[in-house]
Amino acid sequence: MSRRSRAAAASTLRCAAAGTCDQRPVCRARVLLLCLCILLAFALTLGLILSENETSSLEDMPIRVPDLNKDKLTHRPSKPTAAQVKRLVSEVNWSRLWYAQLQPFLIERHPGSRGSRTVRRHISSLLDSLSAGWSVEIDSFNSKTPRGPINFSNILAVLDPNAPRRLLLACHYDTKIMPLASRDPKQVFIGATDSAVPCAMILELVTALDIHLKMLKQQMAQVTLQLVFFDGGEAFEKWTPSDSLYGSRHLAEHMSRIPHPPGSEHTTLLHAVDLFVLLDVIGAPSPMFVNHFENTARWFEQLVSAEKRLHKLGLLSFHPSEQIYFRKDVIMDPVEDDHMPFLQRGVPVLHMIATPFPSYWHTMEDTADKVHSHTVENLTKVLVVFLAEYLGL
């Protein structure tokens, strides 16, 4: 230290001791610097304390990793009041179902045809017009058939693709190609009950519940709704494992390869499916639905209860006794259908197919005039209640 700096140090010491100084600008700057240092130290200490508190409160919070298999088994339906049930089913609109939803399906729509494309546009544009905000995707693929390679297109719509779990509602939109020998060449097979009506019912369900589904999505619920309109449900010739269920075989395989939640090593999109509900051959009066699967008996029971409840509330028409459609007292053989590739991979299934089939099943007589409006409206109301209870709408 030089003499000069020693003198400056002595002067600073004095300044600090006596509060006076003859080098005032230098002294003030040092005091200011000291204050700033103290303030900085205080801020740092406060920051550390706060961040420690934050870390410990985060550590205290249990991180909920969805257990897809366990959560679907323990899922409980909500219990809407009678007033809520009345409000929900009042949203079902038969004339909208008949004109806006069903009529565009009543054309020949076998895989790869112009009719098939027209129906796909109808489904997509209806879903796009809703306020809930559906993510719609066309799942196109080629497959060998007895008539050579054909291009198929499933339509997939998910309300919230990021939700951990899904209730899946499905039908097939293709029509069977009827052999020329069984018909007048000018006649076309439109498959009103197989499966135009089920597809129209699904569109009416999501239209009637649009506002509720929009709210469900905003709430980022654990279970969302997925719709699937399968292509290629029918066989081109004789029903065999390789000539049938083209769309569902493709989709089940595809979903089994997609990790879910994203990045998961053990679970796929198939595990995300809580329940696979398949509608088929619906539209004839007084249909009977039975359950074929023990693991989904409690959800079949939910359909039974919904029918009873709506009957008691006087909300069903042409429904003389409380239990007509969903029957626990009847045993029927299971029917092979688009649920098979999912069932074989362990997905829980509810197969809502009318058995026995109507007499005109797979004939040119499966036309719109056979559709019983009251039955279709009643069944749509039962499904509105079922969806509302499952999803907690």
Q: What phi, psi does 62 have (nearest 5°)? A: -70, 130
Within 61-136, residue ranges assigned H as helices are: 68-74, 82-89, 94-95, 114-129
Give the nearest distance from C-beta 360 to Zn ion in angstroms: 12
Give the nearest distance from C-beta 207 to Zn ion in angstroms: 25
**Which helix (H) or strand (E) is 60 found in, with range?**
helix 24-60
Give the nearest distance from C-beta 269 to Zn ion in angstroms: 27
In contact, 200 and 283? CB cutoff 8 Å: no
Give the nearest distance from C-beta 370 to Zn ion in angstroms: 14
Q: ∠ CA(370), CA(279), CA(327), 5° rounding?
A: 85
When the beta carbons of 231 and 274 are compared against Zn ion, the nearer one is: 231
Give the nearest distance from C-beta 182 to Zn ion in angstroms: 14
β pairing state of 223-230 and 273-280: unpaired
In contact, 285 and 378? CB cutoff 8 Å: no
When the beta carbons of 174 and 389 are compared against Zn ion, the nearer one is: 174
When the beta carbons of 179 and 263 are compared against Zn ion, the nearer one is: 179
Distance CA(281)–CA(353), nearest Å, equals 6
Q: What phi, psi does 338 have (nearest 5°)? A: -65, -10
Give the nearest distance from C-beta 157 to Zn ion in angstroms: 22
In contact, 115 and 107? CB cutoff 8 Å: yes
The tokens for 365 are 């007589």
Give the nearest distance from C-beta 375 to Zn ion in angstroms: 19
When the beta carbons of 194 and 338 are compared against Zn ion, the nearer one is: 194
Cis, bond preceding 90 (omega within 30 deg of 0): no
When the beta carbons of 282 and 290 are compared against Zn ion, the nearer one is: 282
Which residue lies nearest Zn ion, judged by its C-beta?
194
Beta bridge partners of 268: 259
Q: Which DSSP state fits 280?
A: E
When the beta carbons of 189 and 390 are compared against Zn ion, the nearer one is: 189
Q: Under rule CB under 5 A, how many of the chain's residues touch Zn ion? A: 1
Amino acid at 76: R
When the beta carbons of 75 and 370 are compared against Zn ion, the nearer one is: 370
What is the length of the chain? 393
Give the nearest distance from C-beta 336 to Zn ion in angstroms: 11
Applying the rule CB under 5 A, the residues between 58 and 117 that interact with Zn ion are: none
When the beta carbons of 278 and 387 are compared against Zn ion, the nearer one is: 278
Q: Using the rule CB under 5 A, is 338 a contact of Zn ion?
A: no
Applying the rule CB under 5 A, the residues between 177 and 216 that interact with Zn ion are: 194
β pairing state of 349-353 and 273-280: parallel
Distance CA(389)–CA(384), nearest Å, equals 9
> Residues 285-324 vs Zn ion: string with x where CB under 5 A?
----------------------------------------
Residues that bind Zn ion (CB under 5 A): 194
